[in-house]
Structure 1
Amino acid sequence: MTAVLTEAEVAPAAAAQQRRRRRVSGTLAVLPLLAFTAVAFGIPAVAMLNGAFTVKDPTTGATSYGTANLTVSLHGAYLTALAGSVKLSAVCAALGTVLGLPLAQAVVTSRFRALREAVLTASGVLANFGGVPLAFAFVATLGNSGVVTRHLGLTDKGWSLYSFWGLVIVYLYFLIPLMVLTITPALEGLRTQWREAAQNNGATTLQYWRHVALPVLGPSLLGGLVLLFGSAFSAYATAAAMVGSAVPLVTLQIADALSGNVLVGQENVALALSLDMVLVAGLVMAVYLPLQRRSARWLA
């Protein structure tokens, strides 16, 4: 009886010790990732915060901490650029989500495996095709002297690639494929039993999507919307090469402030603008994360 009690007492202790060893092993395994995150993201974040709140006296050159840079970043041309970036990103994200969802659904329901793999592969390539090469491709095609522009006489009809809506079209070139890649796993998680149950109860295809599929996909769609918003919000090279200062964007304002194209000594204002971008992205993520957890329970 004593031996049995001893074994019963020893077993929980051994299990607890094994759990502690696993916890320590897991912590040691994740240390390289934590170190990389601290170097790659932590140091730039600290430098950005320090610069954003560092105010330099133009007369004496003395520095102190204050909110003057943040105040400047939220007024005048800087505020216009920030609002322009938010507007552009929101429009591009909304259109990319609306256009990418049916395309992804067509890919998921396709019976041709080769077509499905080809579309997903092309989406992976196009989602990462941006910057100066993308700007050059659209300028050569839809610019003022582009092939399509001259062939269709678009200039006489009021078309201009170097405008807000021209930039929207260019951004959709890589945002729609990105949405296809993002939403495809969620569409594959929709169970056929749900559609069959809806049909057996007399629901039409539209009613199934309205009352079953879209509520389940809602958090995933919002996640894709957030991802597209972030991609458009942070894009720089494409807009810089194509529209320059024709469309006010915060990323272009940051580049001008860092290089001193407009005013000299505005480097800390550029860091304040970067902090504004981080805050906007943080607000968007704060809405997305709770809904993503809800979606994971349905699609698990």
Structure 2
Amino acid sequence: MLGTLPFFVYVAVVLFLPFGVLAVEAFRVTDPVTFDEGWSTDNIARITEGASGRAYLGSLRLSAVTAVLGAVLGLALSVAILRTRRGRLLRRLVLTASGVLANFGGVPLAFAFLATIGSAGVVTSLLTETLGLEGFTLYSMTGLGLVYLYFLIPLMVLTITPALEALRPQWREAADNLGASGWQYWRYVGGPVLAPPVLGATMLLFASSFAAYATAKALVGSSVPLVTLQIADSLQSNVVVGAENLGKALALGMVVIVGLVLVFYAWVQRRAQRWLA
């Protein structure tokens, strides 16, 4: 028990203390006339309307779309790797690359995409000059989603591959012996077993996309409504009197949403372990 004390101290200082500060400061307001500080739920109400509400909707929409696409593409890639004849070597190479790409983000990732398919990127210039393709812009919600998939797909591969490997061959053999088709096997055996880990991995991708900041900041600035960018603007820019803690209220809402997603992810993972253990 004593050996785990540093861990609990670290969690308390890094996780619970900032959350407690946000939970308190989000309800503090300043009267614009008397400049007296008090307690109110005005900041909480403001994050659901106006620019803050649009930022939340933008982040939720972007996170949901990229999480689903990343989960589908990552699952397909994992299945393809495991079905190859030389799967052991290929699996090792893909998992190693996925471990690197899943942690490659921020400003370097934004710069790599700008240099490649940005408005003056190498590939963009080549396609424009040779094929005359125009219309796509990286500085939009669609372009940002494409960049997010760069690290979400490898993250899905890392998360779902162990679950795919845990599917026992005896289950498929038993289904074949009983006359089940491939569709029936995945409908009644493989699908229900894989559903919890796939759903949990999708929730993990959603949380990762929802909390991303540096890549979006370097790529689109404040032109795309995202809650992480809205928080940065609220903390760094001049704010209206009485809304000094609006950024903290936005951050509190983010923490609550991500916390609920991770709690659901942990619950799904426990159910998945019953079948894949």
TM-score with structure 1 length normalisation?
0.86
Amino acid at match of 2:122: V
2:264 matches 1:248: no
2:27 matches 1:53: yes
Residue-by-residue CA offset, 1:10-53 (whole Å, 9 max, x unaligned): xxxxxxxxxxxxxxxxx323222111110111111111111101
Amino acid at match of 1:160: T
2:91 matches 1:116: yes
Query: In the alignment, what sits opposite 1:190?
Result: 167
Query: In the alignment, what sits opposite 1:211?
Result: 188
**C-alpha spacing 1:132/1:267, structure 2 compared with 1 (3 Å):** farther
The root-mean-square deviation of aligned C-alpha atoms, in Å, is: 1.8
- Deviation for aligned residue 1:261: 5.2
**C-alpha spacing 1:110/1:235, structure 2 compared with 1 (3 Å):** same
* Residues in 2 aligned to 1:291 and 1:71: alpha-carbon distance in whole angstroms: 32
- Deviation for aligned residue 1:293: 2.0
- Deviation for aligned residue 1:263: 4.7
2:104 matches 1:129: yes
Query: In the alignment, what sits opposite 2:273?
Result: 296
Bigger relative contact order, structure 1 or 2 (CA pairs below 8 A, ≥6 apart): 2
- Deviation for aligned residue 1:262: 6.0
- Deviation for aligned residue 1:108: 2.9
Amino acid at match of 1:118: L
* Residues in 2 aligned to 1:45 and 1:200: alpha-carbon distance in whole angstroms: 55
Query: In the alignment, what sits opposite 1:94?
Result: 68
SS of match in other structure, 1:64? strand
Amino acid at match of 1:39: V
Query: In the alignment, what sits opposite 1:68?
Result: 42
Residue-by-residue CA offset, 1:33-81 (whole Å, 9 max, x unaligned): 1111101111111111111011112333221121111111111010000
**Most deviating of 274-283 and 43-52:** 274-283
Structure-to-structure mapping, 1:227-238, within 5 angstroms = 227-238=204-215
* Residues in 2 aligned to 1:244 and 1:288: alpha-carbon distance in whole angstroms: 31
- Deviation for aligned residue 1:144: 1.0
Amino acid at match of 1:296: Q
Amino acid at match of 1:208: Y
2:10 matches 1:36: yes
SS of match in other structure, 1:129? coil
Query: In the alignment, what sits opposite 1:162?
Result: 139
* Residues in 2 aligned to 1:299 and 1:205: alpha-carbon distance in whole angstroms: 20
Q: Which has the larger radius of gyration?
A: 1
SS of match in other structure, 1:157? coil
Conservation of the 8 A alpha-carbon contact between 2:31 and 2:242: no
**C-alpha spacing 1:267/1:213, structure 2 compared with 1 (3 Å):** farther
**C-alpha spacing 1:238/1:96, structure 2 compared with 1 (3 Å):** same
**Structure 1: where are the runs of 5+ without partners?**
1-26
**C-alpha spacing 1:106/1:261, structure 2 compared with 1 (3 Å):** farther
* Residues in 2 aligned to 1:234 and 1:265: alpha-carbon distance in whole angstroms: 26
Conservation of the 8 A alpha-carbon contact between 1:97 and 1:179: yes
- Deviation for aligned residue 1:189: 1.0
Identity, % of aligned positions: 58
**Structure 2: where are the runs of 5+ without partners?**
none
* Residues in 2 aligned to 1:193 and 1:200: alpha-carbon distance in whole angstroms: 10
- Deviation for aligned residue 1:194: 0.7
**Most deviating of 252-261 and 148-157:** 148-157
- Deviation for aligned residue 1:205: 2.5
